[in-house]
Amino acid sequence: MKSRTVTLNNVCKSFVDDSGSAFQAVTDVNLHIEAGEFVTLLGPSGCGKTTTLRMVAGFESISTGDIYFGDDNVRNLQPNKRDCTMVFQSYALFPHMSVYDNVAYGLRLKKMPATAIREKVNQTFDIMNLGAYQDRMPGQLSGGQQQRVALARALVMEPSVLLFDEPLSNLDAKLRLTMRDEIRRIQKAVGITAIYVTHDQSEAMSMSDKVVVMNKGRIEQVGTPTEVYQRPATRFVADFIGVANFLQAEVADTDSESVQLRLGEALVKMPSDGSFESGRQVTLVARPEAIGLTRPTAAGSGNLLPGLVQRSAFMGQVQDYWVDIGDNEIQVTVSNPRAHEPFQPGDKVLVDLHGDSLHWVQG
């Protein structure tokens, strides 16, 4: 199956509300997607991710900017001329047609010979493991099976770009886990370029080659799942993806390799990126699972800070603690809690802010 690059250049979308006032839903989106990449547009409701996807599909007009599939500017092309297909949240299957007829529908509209249709549909059924269901009606299928049929109907058209609009939101939690693995497996197998919209962080992190985090119509960061989690570009990204502790600190000293930060009465050391100046105020990001917690049996050194446990929660695989350090309350996640005697509210502890795991953000 062929695939193409997708490029958005300065794409904007304005709407006019009922009062006649214009508002900007998408602002200056610039994005390049390599052929065969799986890219997720991630963000809260109203951030512009679905509007961006619909502009790529041609279902929404572009106010300004251009969209390219390969070298072709598709801005003024109708959806059926864009060489892309969409998998919808609602499945959008024809209830009066069998699974086979639903998948074959688009090929029949193209007036392909019946033998060619049968060959292509059967090839797609083999990829999707749907052959046993081809004579069933959509109402006889589970939600996960219907979603696979919707994906098969999109793939059989052999588009160069495949679009997903929150396709798993109608499924229960366990089935979502299965289906996201299935979608990723199929995308890799056929090598198609995929753009996927979701507000679910776990979907984005587990499925994507690249994550595009959006907020208020703008792109906040583009990167691999590891990059956006471990090195968030802004406070919004750090706060939206996973759990983050934010600590206000002041640069006390710096050299070419490291920087010392004053956090209350304590000094914390972390690697320097060369952008620090003495006296500068910075916001540190510390992920709960990257913070150590020990009992104060010996004098601390380095990034060990005295803390006081306020509360805890046993979560099965992990134990979460909320600990006061100075004027800050932070969350700490300890894995395999059975291996440690649990801390109790009121316990004094030493908090280890691992310098290599700290990151600073703007905003």
List phi, psi (to 5°) of 16. -115, 125
pLDDT value of residue 302? 58
How is residue 39 written in tokens?
Answer: 């890219």
Which residue's structure tokens are 């320097």? 272
Tell me, rounded to whole angstroms, the distance of Cα 88 from its chain centroid. Answer: 18
The residues spanned by each domain of the chain are 6-240, 245-361
DSSP 166-220: STTTTS-HHHHHHHHHHHHHHHHHHT-EEEEEES-HHHHHHH-SEEEEEETTEEE
Model confidence band, residue 258 (pLDDT cutoffs 50, 70, 90): confident
pTM attached to this predicted model: 0.89
Does the domain spanning 6-240 belong to CATH 3.40.50.300? Answer: yes
pLDDT tens, residue by residue, 138-194? 999 988 889 889 999 999 998 999 999 998 888 888 888 888 988 898 899 889 999
Domain at 245-361, CATH from 2.40.50.140, 3.40.50.1000, 2.40.50.100, 1.10.150.130: 2.40.50.100
| C-alpha count within 13 angstroms, C-beta hemisphere, residue 157 | 25
Region of 322 on the Ramachandran plot (φ > 0 left; ψ -120 to 50 alpha; else beta):
beta
Q: What percent of the chain has pLDDT over 70?
A: 98
Tell me the average pLDDT across 253-258: 81
